[in-house]
Amino acid sequence: MVAVAALLAGCASSVDETEVPVVHWHVGPDRVDPRQLAATCTEQSGGRYRIEVEAMPSDLQDRHRQLVRRMLARDDSIDLLSLDTSLTAEFAAAGFLAPVPAALSQQQRGVVPAALAAATYEQQLVVVPWFLEPQVLWFRGNVAERAGLDLSKPVTWDDLVAGAQRLGVTIQIQDPDGSGLADWVNALVVGSGGSIVSGTRRDAQVSLASEPGRAAASVVEFYQQSQVGPGPSSDALATFASPTGGFLLAAASAVVDPDVSAVAADMVAASYPVTGQTSVAPLSGVGLAVPAHARHREASFAAIECLTAPEQLRTLMVGSRRSVSRFAIWRDREVRRAFPQLGVVSEAIKTGTTVPSSPYWFQIVRAIEATWRPVDEVTQDTTPDESQAAVRAAVEGTMP
């Protein structure tokens, strides 16, 4: 009996001493190596935890499906999540996330307001903001000048499309992970003064069959009729770097993508094209969250604290041009030297829009994909109504 007790005690103490909690950090694809950040934080923790990076599917719908299935199954093998901002509402509503400790949520002063909003659900901070970046209008060299466009102030979609057509170059739209079309439609609708959906419940207001919805559809219709590009596509960056490339609507961080390395030195950023009065750019990013069933909650939040510390944010911003969640980093001299487009980005992040905060957003994306693709069949007469019905069904949970 005594021997057994001694043995058990020995076991317990050896666990305490030698076993460092492993924080399994699940990440989507990124241009900065998360392993490097993980190694830095593991080192800085002084043995309190060890971060191991696990890759998730690169397609956002696949990632969403996999994560939701794992969360519903109470999978406890995810300790830390790089959570896309478009997932915040759904994961918070479903109760998938561990509450952010008060100490950490009080540190959110000086955080970019849009990034804070994207990490909040029903007035509660549910995710720790990490980065949030706008899409900008990229162009190569003197293309804008040759197209007769003055891009020092925001250009309208009509002028941009007409200019590109005149010059015989394309306007590429990024879609790296399947979110491109929904982000585009959302920004066009919000830019025209509307919103796709407002409300978080089944009875949420869907307003695509509206003046802003028709304005958005007319932009898409004019874009495809002018044959200046294929709409949102996964090879947008590569095509932009090819001889027919002229304009590119993509995240500010696209400039460090290997696909555009040949023309990166020649790339200039301007504000996202306007539909209404102001430039409304799509904003998307990533927050850090701890799943409710994570095994080492404390270690996970300690890891978040490290990953959102100024030093790591600076690495992220310089290395990948992600506009990180803290303004203090933006003012850093090293960052400003590495990131000449920061002026355009800081304007865009103020006026841009994230996707609506709806637990049904991913069903809405499927409805938008079903009704706005193929892009060359979009018309302002039929698409808004069809899309309205499909999105309404998605929110109500009925068959389309």
Partner 1 sequence: MRGSAVRGWRWLAPAAVVLLLVTAWPIGRTVWTSLSTAPQTNPGDRVFVGLDNYVDVLSNRSWWTAVAATLAVIGVVVVLQLLLGLAFAAALRRVTVLWPVTRVLVLVPFAMLAVVVAVVWRDATTTGFAAQWFSLDEPGPIGQLISVSLGEVWRGTGITTVILLAGLLRVPDSLMASAVADGATHWQRIRKVVLPAAGPAFAVAATYRALDALRVVEGPLLVDVPGAEVRTVTTVVWDTTFSSFELALGAAMSVLLLALAALIAAVLVSVLRVRRIV
Sequence-ordered list of residues with C-beta below 8 angstroms from that of 215, at least 6 positions apart, any chain: 188, 189, 192, 194, 275, 276, 380
Give 339 or 372: the residue with its C-beta nearer to partner 1.
372
Q: How far is the CB of 67 from partner 1 (least distance, A)?
A: 10
Q: Which residues bind partner 1 (CB under 8 A)?
A: 61, 65, 68-69, 72, 90-91, 93-96, 200-202, 359-360, 363, 366, 369-370, 373, 394, 397-400
Give 270 or 365: the residue with its C-beta nearer to partner 1.
365
Q: How far is the CB of 68 from partner 1 (least distance, A)?
A: 6
Give 11 or 94: the residue with its C-beta nearer to partner 1.
94
d(CA 324, CA 116): 11
The dihedrals phi and psi of 356, each to the nearest 5 degrees, come to -60, 150
Report the SS3 class of residue 370. Answer: helix
Q: How far is the CB of 57 from partner 1 (least distance, A)?
A: 14
Give 220 or 270: the residue with its C-beta nearer to partner 1.
220
Residue of 90, 91, 40, 52 whose CA lies nearest to 296: 52
Q: How far is the CB of 207 from partner 1 (least distance, A)?
A: 20
Tokens found for residue 200: 């978080």
Give 351 or 383: the residue with its C-beta nearer to partner 1.
383
Identify whether the C-beta of residue 190 lies closer than 8 Å to the C-beta of residue 280: yes
**Beta-carbon count within 10 A of 263 CB:** 18
d(CA 69, CA 228): 39
Give 193 or 400: the residue with its C-beta nearer to partner 1.
400
- Between strands 124-125 and 120-121, the pairing is antiparallel
Q: How far is the CB of 64 from partner 1 (least distance, A)?
A: 9
Q: How far is the CB of 206 from partner 1 (least distance, A)?
A: 15
